[in-house]
């Protein structure tokens, strides 16, 4: 039993040492999550929220661009009625190194988050 406990502790410590740091981003919104009753208000609010999330992710990436490892984000969206919608998003190391590749990253990220909200607006700058 002691061997099992010792191995468990060693694995736990090794996992914490070599695991990725998770960056938590918290947002509060009054939009419903994946509603069937979509409206212009729903699309506008979800578009603004997604753009804020993408801009915050890009800002964090720009600050941590010298890190040579993947960056894990956990976006937590809290609804005013108390619902919580966590989204895990993994960004590979150095996702962009030019204006064109940053634009492609922003578009792909927007479309990925857009699908999670079931919104239909394409990314346009």
Q: Which of 69, 78, 82 is nearest to 25 (CA)?
A: 78
Q: Which of 40, 15, 29 is nearest to 87 (CA)?
A: 29
pLDDT for 10: 60
CA 82 to chain centre: 20
pLDDT for 17: 47
Tell me: the pLDDT tens digits for 9-60?
565 555 554 555 889 999 888 776 655 666 666 677 888 888 999 999 999 9
Tell me: the pLDDT tens digits for 74-124?
998 888 777 788 889 998 877 787 788 888 999 999 988 888 766 555 566
pLDDT for 30: 77
- Dihedral sign computed on CA atoms, order 26, 30, 35, 41: negative
Q: What are phi and psi of 90, to 5 degrees?
A: -110, 130
Q: How far apart are CA 125 and CA 116, in angstroms?
A: 20
């Amino acid at each position: 039993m002691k061997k099992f406990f010792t191995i468990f502790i060693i694995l736990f410590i090794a996992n914490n040492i070599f695991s990725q740091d998770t960056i938590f981003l918290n947002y509060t919104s009054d939009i419903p999550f994946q509603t069937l009753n979509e409206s212009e208000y729903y699309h506008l609010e979800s578009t603004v929220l997604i753009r804020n999330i993408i801009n915050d992710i890009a800002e964090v990436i720009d600050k941590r661009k010298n890190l040579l490892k993947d960056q894990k984000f956990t976006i937590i969206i809290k609804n005013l009625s108390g619902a919580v919608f966590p989204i895990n998003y993994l960004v590979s190391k150095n996702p962009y190194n030019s204006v064109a590749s940053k634009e492609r990253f922003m578009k792909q990220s927007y479309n990925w988050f857009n699908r999670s909200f079931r919104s239909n607006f394409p990314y346009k700058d």
